[in-house]
Amino acid sequence: MLSFEGAQTLGDAAIVEKLASLPLDGLRHQVATKDAQPCEGGILINVTGQLLAGGESNPQFFCQTFLLKPEGGSYYVQNDIFRLVYGL
């Protein structure tokens, strides 16, 4: 499952469609922190940092959480939560 800025998308095909719809051209990430924990036979990962959209000059804070599960010698993303971080 993908939660992107509060919008939930379930299943491979729907998630690929959702990601393809996002305006990611020229987007740059600057990772500030990475944490990983063993979790249910997989790896729970949390990343924070800043991202700069193409053509923008003001970076935005973000955090993204993944649960990676092993399968066939590799990993797949079972859970994915992305949020921009800002005040109210």
48 binds its own copies (CB under 8 A): yes
Number of residues in contact with its own copies, rule: CB under 8 A?
Answer: 31
Among 26, 28, 29, 35, binds its own copies (CB under 8 A): 35
Strands 60-71, 28-39: pairing is unpaired
Question: DSSP letters along 53-78, please?
Answer: -TT--S-EEEEEEEEEEEETTEEEEE
65 binds its own copies (CB under 8 A): yes
Give the whole-angstrom CA distance, residue 16 versus residue 21. Answer: 9
18 binds its own copies (CB under 8 A): no
Among 18, 53, 77, 83, binds its own copies (CB under 8 A): 83
Give the whole-angstrom CA distance, residue 59 versus residue 45. Answer: 22
Give the whole-angstrom CA distance, residue 63 versus residue 65. Answer: 7
Q: Which residues bind its own copies (CB under 8 A)?
A: 1, 3, 6, 8, 30, 32-33, 35, 37-40, 44, 46, 48-50, 59, 61-63, 65, 67, 78-79, 81, 83, 85-88
